[in-house]
Amino acid sequence: MAKLRANAKLLENVRLVTDNGRGHNVVCDLSEAAGGTNTGPTPLELALMALAGCGVIIYADVCKNSKIDPGKIEIEVEAEKASKSPSLTGVTMKVNIASKARKALVEAAWRRTEAACPVLFVYKESVPVKVETQISGQ
């Protein structure tokens, strides 16, 4: 079973850097209104960005493997969240595909995308999360 990894470290105030252990990192921060410096997306925004990105990249891969012209795809993700709640109350994924391929082929490619997108699965299904906390002096 493959293991995916992520790590996050606080830089200052509420700004952090998160990485995947393969040399890629993203700076996350809160907006100025929320006490940050707005130097990057919030972690929740990054999660929504991951959903949009997963849809695009899996669709492109499905099309490539099926020898279908993917055309142009753009995905917009919107989420609803009460201001004082940590929970999302709804997520809408708006998929816009413009392709010269037959509509039936594009629709089939998108269905395979939905079935194969791991980030979409995280949003749709309850994934068990085990939290291990270790606290030590500096």
Q: Distance between CA 107 and CA 103 in Å, rounded?
A: 6
Q: Which residues contact 101 (CB under 8 A, 6 or more apart)?
A: 63, 68, 69, 70, 71
Q: What is the pTM of this model?
A: 0.90
pLDDT at 56 over 90: yes
- Tokens linked to 116: 């194969």
φ and ψ of 96, to 5 deg: -125, 115
pLDDT at 138 over 80: no
Burial 97-132 (b: 16+ CB within 10 A, else e): bebebeeeebeebbebbbeebebbeebeeeeeeeee
pLDDT at 133 over 80: yes
Identify whether the C-beta of residue 35 lies closer than 8 Å to the C-beta of residue 14. Answer: yes
Q: Which of 11-15, 86-90, 93-97, 99-103 has the lowest average pLDDT?
A: 86-90
Q: How many CB atoms lie within 10 A of CB 62?
A: 21
SS3 120: helix
pLDDT score of 87? 86
Identify whether the C-beta of residue 93 lies closer than 8 Å to the C-beta of residue 52. Answer: yes
Neighbouring-strand partners of residue 27: 17
pLDDT score of 127? 83
